[in-house]
Amino acid sequence: MDNCKVTTLSNGVKIISEFIPYLKSFSLGFWFNIGARDENLRNNGISHFIEHMLFKGTKTRSAKQISDEIESYGGYLNAFTSKEQTCYYGRGLSENFKKTFVVLSDMIQNPSFKDSHIKKEAGVVIDELKDIDDNPEELIFDKFEESIFNGHSLSYPIIGTEKNILSYNSNILHQFHKANYRLDNLLISVSGAIHHEEAVALAEKYFKGKRSTSNQKRKTFVKQIVSEVFIEKEIQQVHSIIGRTTYGFNDPRRHKLKVLSTLLGDGSSSRLFQAVREKLGMTYQINTFLNSYLDVSAFGVYYSTNDKQAGKVNEIVHREFSKLRNIEVKPKELKRVKEYIKGNTLMSLESTTNRMIRLANSLLHYGKIVPIEDILVKIDSVTSEDIQKLSKEVLNESTLSKIIICSKDNSIKKAA
């Protein structure tokens, strides 16, 4: 990782970059360590709403000027909010790096937050919320985390609630922005044909404010909750998740968990895909997922199928859990899974945006740059014994929560 460098300015701004000389482009991300888990019931959704609002104009640029300035040079701007971070990022050709940097730094420091814009954008975000509500494939993941993280701010949906969205005004947004978009809470991540010194010089020029600090500390997640939830929707399919809370980024066992999750349900060679879709043709989609946060992860199996087959699919999923708890994985299968993970990991690095995100996550989660080789070594070191031991804990039936979205007259609900 000789081409990776980290600098912290006196005002607290961190810059991490990776120089890739053979490219003609870059990806630049401005990261704030703020997300849904830092909110409360009254303002839940505000991090995501501010992410939308920063594209609506600054004190010197209109929304159209922001997009024109980047797109007229073939560039691209976007953003995303998670439960722990908000990221504003841009891509472009290397000679336009400064232009992108200047526009992004203006957006994040000088939002106008006009009440007329807020009212209009509230309609857009509520429309997005209703899209999620109409889409059981998306909704079920929000409801699953709401259930397993119950009582903790990680249970809050990123998008918030309609009531909250309608309550935001210029004053509320400015207060939240000032409190959380601090320089000591900003990480600038760059990957591509950009020298580290260039990124540092721009950060020094465009972030001149003094260091400010906050005593705000995140409440760690400690309580394991097991629940069963049924949600009625006028839909034809049954959507289901079986899962639980488990190790976060700060736990070294997460690499073993990644191998277990992949073996069980990632890709068309995985056990669940083969057992349910290939052999029986009972479902179009079945897969495992691992949504990780610093101190905890949401792990589970998601599938959708029709009413008549839902019970059988559920039975097969639990049968596969039992096999992993009781029968050691053969070396050949374990090797295939490891190669699949390593291949996917390395191929993802062909995108500068993925590399920029990886750099930022490495610093945010581990406080340092973790070389990709270290991760591959950890994946390689996972044994069959590790998988069986982990399965006995993570796939323990008494610790698993279940959430089902189905129609009102569904036979699964009647049986329950």
Read off the pLDDT of residues 304-338 as tens digits, 9 standing for 90 and up: 999 999 999 999 999 999 999 999 999 999 999 99
Contact 214, 185 (CB under 8 A): yes
Burial class (CB in 10 A: 0-12, 13-18, 19+), 226: middle
Same structural domain for residues 403 and 309?
Answer: yes
pLDDT confidence of residue 415 = 45
Which of 153, 176, 206 represents a domain boundary (last residue)? 206
Domain that holds residue 73: 4-206
**Contact (CB, 8 A) for 104 and 129:** no
Distance from C-alpha of 253 to C-alpha of 390, rounded to nearest angstrom: 9
- Calpha distance 59→66 (Å, rounded): 12
Both ends of the chain: CA-CA distance in Å?
54
Does 64 share its domain with 122?
A: yes
Q: Which residues pair with 288 in a beta bridge?
A: 301
CATH number at residue 233: 3.30.830.10
pLDDT at 1: 54
Q: Which amino acid is at 97?
A: F
What pLDDT sits at residue 210?
A: 80
Shared domain check, 235 and 200: no
* CA 45 – CA 168 distance, rounded (Å): 10
Same domain, 175 and 234: no
- Domain match, 270 and 149 both: no
Is position 219 within any domain?
A: no
Angstrom distance (rounded) from CA 243 to CA 145:
10
> Do residues 183 and 305 share a domain?
no
Pairing of strands 76-81, 14-19: unpaired
Q: Please name the residues in contact with 224: beta carbons below 8 A apart, sequence gap of 6 or more.
A: 244, 245, 399
**What pLDDT, in 10s, does the model give residues 264-320?**
999 999 999 999 987 888 888 999 999 999 999 999 999 999 999 999 999 999 999
Establish whether 197 is a catalytic residue. no
C-alpha to C-alpha distance for 128 and 124, rounded to whole angstroms: 6
Is 266 a domain residue? yes
CB atoms within 10 A of CB 355: 21
**Residues 178, 257: one domain?**
no
Provide the mean pLDDT of the chain.
94
Q: Name all contacts of 326-330 with Cβ < 8 Å and 24+ positions apart.
A: 327/388, 328/384, 328/385, 328/387, 328/388, 329/263, 329/384, 329/387, 329/388, 330/384
Q: State pLDDT tens for residues 97-122.
A: 999 999 999 999 999 999 999 999 99
Under a CB-based contact definition with an 8 Å cutoff, are residues 187 and 360 in contact?
yes
Using the predicted structure, report yes or no on whether residue 248 has a pLDDT greater than 90: yes
pLDDT at 414: 46
**pLDDT confidence of residue 281:** 83
Q: CA triplet 338, 344, 349: central angle to 5 degrees?
A: 130
Give a yes or no: residue 223 inside a domain: no
User: Is there a single domain that holds both residue 313 and residue 240?
Assistant: yes
* Cα–Cα distances in angstroms (integers) from residue 162 to residues 61, 141, 385, in the given order: 29, 18, 48
Q: Which residue shows structure tokens 């736990």?
A: 251
**Is 139:132 a contact under the CB 8 Å cutoff?**
yes
φ, ψ dihedrals at 283, nearest 5°: -150, 150
Does some domain include residue 62?
Answer: yes
What pTM was estimated for this model as a whole?
0.94
| Calculated CA dihedral for residues 362, 368, 372, 376, nearest 10 degrees | -90
For residues 223-252, give the mean pLDDT.
94
pLDDT in tens, 187-233: 999 999 999 999 999 999 999 988 777 777 888 998 888 999 999 99
Among residues 175, 206, 237, which one ends one of the domains?
Answer: 206
Based on the domain organization, do 370 and 259 belong to the same domain?
Answer: yes
Q: Same structural domain for residues 97 and 157?
A: yes
Query: Does 99 map to a domain?
Result: yes
Instruction: State the catalytic residue, choosing from 18, 51, 69, 145.
Output: 51
Q: What's the DSSP call for residue 383?
A: -
Shared domain for 257 and 111, answered yes or no, is: no
Cα 77 off chain centre by:
18
How far apart CA 356 and CA 5 sit, in angstroms, is 13
411 has pLDDT over 90: no
d(CA 165, CA 157): 12
Residue 316 lies in a domain: yes
Residues 171, 283, single domain; the answer is no
Q: Which pLDDT belongs to residue 416?
A: 45
Q: How far apart are CA 303 and CA 300, in angstroms?
A: 10
On whether residue 142 sits in a domain, the answer given is yes
| Contact indicator for 106, 209 with CB cutoff of 8 Å | no
pLDDT of residue 2: 63
Q: How many domains does the chain have?
A: 2
d(CA 324, CA 215): 44
214 within some domain:
no
Phi, psi of 380 (to 5 degrees): -65, -30
